Amino acid sequence: MVFNSYTFVAFFILILFLHNLPLSWKTKKVNLLLASYIFYAAWNPPFILLLWLSTVIDFFVGRALYTQENSHKKKLLLVVSLIGNLGMLCFFKYGTFLLDNFVALTHVVGIDFNPAKPNIILPAGISFYTFTTLCYTIDMYKKESKPVQSLLDFSLFVTFFPHLVAGPIVRPPQLVPQFESPRVASRKQLLDGLLLLTLGLFMKVVLADSMLSSTADSIFDSSGVLPVLDAWIGVFAFSGQIFLDFAGYSTCAIGVALCLGFVLPQNFNYPYAAIGFTDFWRRWHITLSSWLRDYLYIPLGGSRNGKAKMYFALMMTMLLGGLWHGANWTFVAWGGLHGLYLWVEKYFRDKTGVHSDHKPSANTLTNFGFALLTFMLINITWVFFRADTFTRSWGMLQSMFGMAVDGKPLLTTLAILKVAVIVPLIVLCHWFLRNTKVLDVAYKLSWFWLGIIWSAMLLVIIWAQESGSSFIYFQF
């Protein structure tokens, strides 16, 4: 089930109705849990067993980790959780990838090994709920928060349907306390949530799917040499598409949760207005960035043990962050390129004495120039994210920088114009709104103009619904 479907509309209306009935809080939580399982089962019902297994193991292991005083037993319990969670993730997400690379390695050394191709189906959202449960057991190991007392609350924390399949990646202290006492959305929360849901669907269905996806697909699915203009337009189209698609999902998720009275963490903060790459990762997929920082970068040493180890920890974090996105070496290259950008940025900041936590406060022309440079360099990384092979990635880069003979134009004038209008508007909106919140902007408008804009978005969403597709990050 996806947010951009009429099935979800009916499902959500029913959930809202049940959640606002005069029932006990425990009954309402059971309703939400069952609804979350139904939401997930719409893809592939048997994979609910994986969700149950991960939930039950980490609930009991987490409690034991918190109370266990024997260090050896604590480490053994942590290993059990890591094997259970990462084992499932590695098998379903990376099993075929690891086998293919092993076969390639055997062929290099002269061994003719050709096993049967495995038929492994990737469970929706496994990367997201695995990271959600992992942070709980690691926090229990460190005793950084108290264990969840109720299996019902913990199960709902893991499977709460707005964030289940594509985030935001929530931490226990962010969501579990909200399940401990009755919650029903206030009138303002309901209106805010519905507005965010509408905005998220507009970003996804109208802009990402109807306006940009076909252009990006036609360019990245082509096998020949492309004109420079077509190549750049295709990359810009994907750059806009992936932001609108993923930020649209996160906006929908936050809005749906708010309609039920729950608050999810922010996941995007105008990333294409970032001034530098440290700033970009503070604004793009914020919950993943903070997860990688707290559970990978800092345990690897962070910035505490000298510059050499810091650069190593940074690159390893970005490489593994790239691999988290998909079982393909192109994703590793994407992460590595971001790691290289961060290396260069930190080197020059050290030279100039500008600290990495420096946040430009003024929207000056110079800062805008740095933001545009950051945006252009990020577009180069999107080539590796979108292309499924290095051959296609290299061919795209050759076309973009005129290193190959121009091919026959592929895009229509209309397709070029759509990208040339939408993507600059995204960048400008990010720049002028970079220090604000979308709801604050909405409520600065009069109710008349807010109603006109809201109604227009709804009408265009209904008109464009046929072009809607699954969210890009469902594959991760």
123 preceded by a cis bond (ω within 30 of 0): no
CA distances from residue 401 to 230, 306, 392, 397, 409 in whole angstroms, order as listed = 11, 38, 14, 6, 16
CB 224: neighbour CB atoms within 10 A? 10
CA distances from residue 132 to 152, 165, 199 in whole angstroms, order as listed = 16, 11, 26
Structure tokens at 449: 């103009």
Q: Which amino acid is at 116?
A: A
CA dist., res. 150 & res. 30, Å (int): 12
DSSP per residue over 289-332, as a string?
Answer: HHHHIIIIITTTTTTSS-HHHHHHHHHHHHHHHHHHH-SSHHHH
- The residues, any chain, with a CB within 8 Å of residue 256's CB and separated by 6 or more, are 3, 12, 161, 162, 193, 197
CA dist., res. 162 & res. 265, Å (int): 12
Helix, coil or strand: residue 122: coil
CA dist., res. 349 & res. 123, Å (int): 42
CA dist., res. 157 & res. 151, Å (int): 10
Q: Is residue 264 within 8 Å of 162, Cβ to Cβ?
A: yes
For residue 128, with 0-12 CB atoms within 10 Å meaning exposed, 13-18 middle and 19 or more buried, which class applies? Answer: buried
CA dist., res. 298 & res. 100, Å (int): 32
Q: Which amino acid is at 5?
A: S
Residue from 158, 139, 152, 200 nearest 51 by CA: 158
The one catalytic residue among 19, 325, 338, 430: 325
Enclosing H/E stretch for 152: helix 151-159
Phi/psi at 281 (5° precision): -80, -10
- Determine whether 325 is an active site residue: yes
115 preceded by a cis bond (ω within 30 of 0): no
- Residue 42 CA, chain-centre distance (Å), reads 21
CA dist., res. 457 & res. 472, Å (int): 22
CA dist., res. 118 & res. 107, Å (int): 18
Q: Which residues are catalytic?
A: 325
